[in-house]
Chain A
């Protein structure tokens, strides 16, 4: 089975490194890392990941704006928000921006894996016959 290709976006280097190792361990390929929203959009255009794991609070371009931009640039690529903020308001804003799911960083790796797979399954893939 092909391992899903993930772009990890987080401005905190420690979190980013831990995520890269952990995702690898639970069956994902991390194909890129970015520390802010602008880099994330540029990198996603290059590597075209299956899914982007997106932090919200970041310098230059924040996660909500980056999610919106990614959904425009790559409409079939799901974006899952992974943030330290536990906020209904932010969760709604993330949904409006086009995020498939909203995760808080204190969740377990099993929950993270399940949500990523769920997001990958529900987003329609481009029809290869078109």
Chain B
């Protein structure tokens, strides 16, 4: 027997101590260390020691400074000295040979018969797996919280018996609250929009007796007064007797989605309204212009028929007039068709179509000049972009004709980088854009439809005007360099 082993055995002279040692040897994940006042190890035992391949006989009789590197020995020695001073200590250590290993240590003094501290005992448990599980759980919770924050989804559990609600941090934020202690149902409900409260209570009340899933949408009012829309999905959880004991659920912030739906609905309504308006204008145009002209021509034909025998020269004049009427009517019909769908835009491109618009505007508004300049050099833009710019030019020139009382108007098409700019400027009476924006809901000057069209292709519309200073409408739209195709 080596001197160390003899010394070890000498520390356990009694059968009872040997039994304790057997117990310690067989306890999984446990190591027991006894040290003297010189911090010299007197006893090492425990199943955990086998695992990292420590051999007790190599350790007993040596101080912690002899056994361990200084960076490990110093903190351990500090704890042991405190124990020798009579303290109980609880601390954690990283493994020396295996830094991944974590030891939870409870150290306490050993007193002799006279009460003097003769040494200490450290009861070490290998908590590596538990710490790893704790870390995993913490990481998993962190990821869940992060996912909830990103998805704007909160989760909650309502204990039916106690009435307490346990909620995730994100759930608190969805209600406009700081994460904190448990909520109760009434506190949670106090943030719900009064108009939605009864519906939500009914659903939750139903789940108390019927655990089947529910889905309900409601609004919450945040402390700052803002209103959010939450989609709640939940279900009951039953005990072994089938009684609902908990209700679990998630809340999802769907405010933006609902706002987008509402905007889409309003946009559709405006679209249909615009379509109806277009149909109405077309019907009025057909009736007031074309039907009346054709009726007048019919009356002239009747007149010619009645005069056929009596006054042939007059009939010849009437037929000449009718030929002129037909020419005028054909031109009017083409204008009507052009307003519906500018065929010239498809066939000859934006610049040609805008030139036609300018000619019509000049004649209609009695302008001194309506010039069109362009830097497109014959390039054709994407058909959708051409249509948008055409409609903006059409609306802007219609506004000039109807409201501006202008003399000079210019239409410019400029290309720069990956965008194209349409500018319609006039020297007319101008207006207060802020005032017209107020009227935008009533389609004031068609600004809303122009802006929506331009924004629809990722562009920007600006209107610069003031009373007495003319008006400048600019539509800047993206036109990537590889988009335009040369005119074939």
- Which chain A residues have a beta carbon within 8 Å of chain B's beta carbons? 12, 14-15, 17-19, 21-22, 25-26, 57, 84-85, 105-106, 108-109
Structural contact, A14 and B325, CB atoms closer than 8 A: yes
Residue of A at shortest CB range from B292? A12
Q: A14-B293, A57-B287, A84-B292 are in contact. Are A21 and B303 (CB under 8 A)?
A: yes
Structural contact, A18 and B300, CB atoms closer than 8 A: yes
Residue-wise, chain B 306-342 has the 8 Å CB interface mask toward A (1 for contact) of 1100000000000000000100000000000000000
With A and B bound together, what is the CA distance between A29 and B302 in angstroms?
17
Pick the contact of B291 from A18, A21, A22, A84 — CB < 8 Å?
Answer: A84
Q: A25-B307, A26-B306, A108-B302 are in contact. Are A18 and B296 (CB under 8 A)?
A: yes
Structural contact, A105 and B298, CB atoms closer than 8 A: yes
Residue of B at shortest CB range from A12? B292
With A and B bound together, what is the CA distance between A105 and B302 in angstroms?
12
With A and B bound together, what is the CA distance between A19 and B291 in angstroms?
15
B299 at interface (Cβ–Cβ under 8 A)? yes
Q: A22-B302, A57-B288 are in contact. Are A106 and B295 (CB under 8 A)?
A: yes
Residue of B at shortest CB range from A84? B291
Residue of B at shortest CB range from A26? B306
Structural contact, A12 and B299, CB atoms closer than 8 A: no
Can you give 17 contacting A-B residue pairs, CB < 8 Å?
A12-B288, A12-B292, A12-B295, A14-B293, A15-B296, A15-B299, A17-B296, A18-B300, A19-B299, A25-B303, A25-B306, A84-B292, A85-B287, A105-B298, A105-B299, A106-B298, A109-B299
Pick the contact of B296 from A12, A25, A26, A109 — CB < 8 Å?
Answer: A12
Q: How far is the CB of B5 from chain A (nearest CB, A)?
A: 120
User: Which residues on A sit within 8 Å (CB–CB) of B302?
Assistant: 22, 108-109
Q: How far is the CB of A80 from chain B (nearest CB, A)?
A: 15
With A and B bound together, what is the CA distance between A85 and B287 in angstroms?
8
Interface size counted on chain B using CB atoms at 8 A: 17
Q: How far is the CB of B315 from chain A (nearest CB, A)?
A: 12
Residue of A at shortest CB range from B299? A18
Additional A-B contacts beyond A22-B299, A84-B287 (6; CB < 8 A) = A12-B292, A12-B295, A15-B296, A17-B296, A108-B302, A109-B305
Structural contact, B295 and A84, CB atoms closer than 8 A: yes
Candidate in A12, A18, A22, A85 with the most chain B CB atoms within 10 angstroms: A18
Structural contact, B295 and A15, CB atoms closer than 8 A: yes
Residue of B at shortest CB range from A108? B302
Q: How far is the CB of B280 from chain A (nearest CB, A)?
A: 13
User: Which residues on A sit within 8 Å (CB–CB) of B297?
Assistant: 18
Candidate in B292, B300, B306, B307 with the most chain A CB atoms within 10 angstroms: B292
Pick the contact of B292 from A14, A26, A108, A109 — CB < 8 Å?
Answer: A14
Structural contact, B303 and A15, CB atoms closer than 8 A: no
Residue-wise, chain B 218-258 has the 8 Å CB interface mask toward A (1 for contact) of 00000000000000000000000000000000000000000
User: Which residues on A sit within 8 Å (CB–CB) of B298?
Assistant: 105-106
Q: How far is the CB of A60 from chain B (nearest CB, A)?
A: 15
Q: A57-B287, A84-B291 are in contact. Are A14 and B296 (CB under 8 A)?
A: yes
With A and B bound together, what is the CA distance between A108 and B301 in angstroms?
10
User: Which residues on B sit within 8 Å (CB–CB) of A84?
Assistant: 287, 291-292, 295
Structural contact, B291 and A109, CB atoms closer than 8 A: no
Q: How far is the CB of A21 from chain B (nearest CB, A)?
A: 5
Residue-wise, chain B 410-421 has the 8 Å CB interface mask toward A (1 for contact) of 000000000000
User: Which residues on A sit within 8 Å (CB–CB) of B292?
Assistant: 12, 14-15, 84, 105
The 8 closest A-B pairs by CB, nearest first: A18-B299, A14-B296, A105-B295, A109-B302, A12-B292, A15-B296, A84-B291, A18-B296
With A and B bound together, what is the CA distance between A21 and B296 in angstroms?
11
Q: How far is the CB of A10 from chain B (nearest CB, A)?
A: 8
User: Which residues on A sit within 8 Å (CB–CB) of B295?
Assistant: 12, 15, 84, 105-106
Residue of A at shortest CB range from B293? A14
User: Which residues on A sit within 8 Å (CB–CB) of B300?
Assistant: 18, 21-22
With A and B bound together, what is the CA distance between A57 and B287 in angstroms?
9
User: Which residues on A sit within 8 Å (CB–CB) of B303?
Assistant: 18, 21-22, 25, 109
Residue of B at shortest CB range from A18? B299
With A and B bound together, what is the CA distance between A85 and B299 in angstroms?
16
Within 8 A of A (CB), among B263-303: 287-288, 291-293, 295-300, 302-303
Q: How far is the CB of A73 from chain B (nearest CB, A)?
A: 27
User: Which residues on B sit within 8 Å (CB–CB) of A26?
Assistant: 306
Q: How far is the CB of B229 from chain A (nearest CB, A)?
A: 46
With A and B bound together, what is the CA distance between A14 and B288 in angstroms?
12
User: Which residues on B sit within 8 Å (CB–CB) of A19?
Assistant: 299
Q: How far is the CB of B421 from chain A (nearest CB, A)?
A: 40
With A and B bound together, what is the CA distance between A18 and B303 in angstroms?
8
Residue of B at shortest CB range from A104? B295
Q: How far is the CB of B245 from chain A (nearest CB, A)?
A: 68
With A and B bound together, what is the CA distance between A26 and B444 in angstroms?
50
With A and B bound together, what is the CA distance between A21 and B292 in angstroms?
16
Q: How far is the CB of A23 from chain B (nearest CB, A)?
A: 9
With A and B bound together, what is the CA distance between A121 and B10 in angstroms?
149
